[in-house]
Amino acid sequence: MLDEQALMQALNSTPVADGRRRDLWRADREVDRWAQEHGEHGGIGGDAERRWLRTARDALQAVESGTPADPGLGRVLAGVRRVPVPGASGVEWHLEAPPERRLAVELVLAWADVKERMPGRLRPCENPECRLFLLDRSRANTARWCSMKTCGNRLKARRHQARERKAPRPE
């Protein structure tokens, strides 16, 4: 199964650079690289698997950004089942999904796991120009930016400049 690191890489695969949104998964080889790196069996590859991974990623980004419901999650999960299988160490759950959808389903399940284990901690960066997401691990759950070095400092500098412009100047 995929972990939260794989989830965050997928969610953050559409950053903004120089004011323009980039899709790091636009190139098939990048999606295949991610699948090879994170898939239990390396993914099956191919156009269908890539389409499903992009669909799952886009739907999860929409949900986390507060965009109206996206039918993508329903399509990814349609007909999927988790089946209990008794084993020597207890019950194991096996995922039954079409091979080309398996990694996309695992991505959605990784998201669901994070939402359950860490409620309220997965969210978009508060910089309106940023498209990245953060998983807040702080004790107080007060992280606001994907990175203090980039988004946090930029927004603080902008606020400071705005205050300076509004402040009356001594004559």
CA–CA dist 35, 51 (Å, integer): 12
Q: What is the mean pLDDT of each run of 10 residues along the chain (171 residues)?
A: 94 91 96 90 86 97 86 94 93 94 96 96 90 92 80 59 64 65
Q: What is the pTM of this model?
A: 0.85
Question: Which residues are registered as beta bridge partners of 82?
Answer: 95
CA–CA dist 94, 151 (Å, integer): 40
What domains lie within the chain, and their CATH numbers? 4-166 (1.10.3300)
CA–CA dist 117, 106 (Å, integer): 16
Quick one: which H or E segment has residue 132? none
| 27 burial level (CB within 10 Å; 0-12, 13-18, 19+) | exposed
Half-sphere exposure (CA, 13 Å, Cβ side) for 77? Answer: 15
What pLDDT does 43 receive?
77
Sign of the torsion formed by the C-alpha atoms of 124, 128, 131 and 134: negative
Instruction: Give, as one character, the DSSP assignment of residue 150.
Output: I
What pLDDT does 41 receive?
65
Strands 81-87 and 122-124, how do they pair?
Answer: unpaired
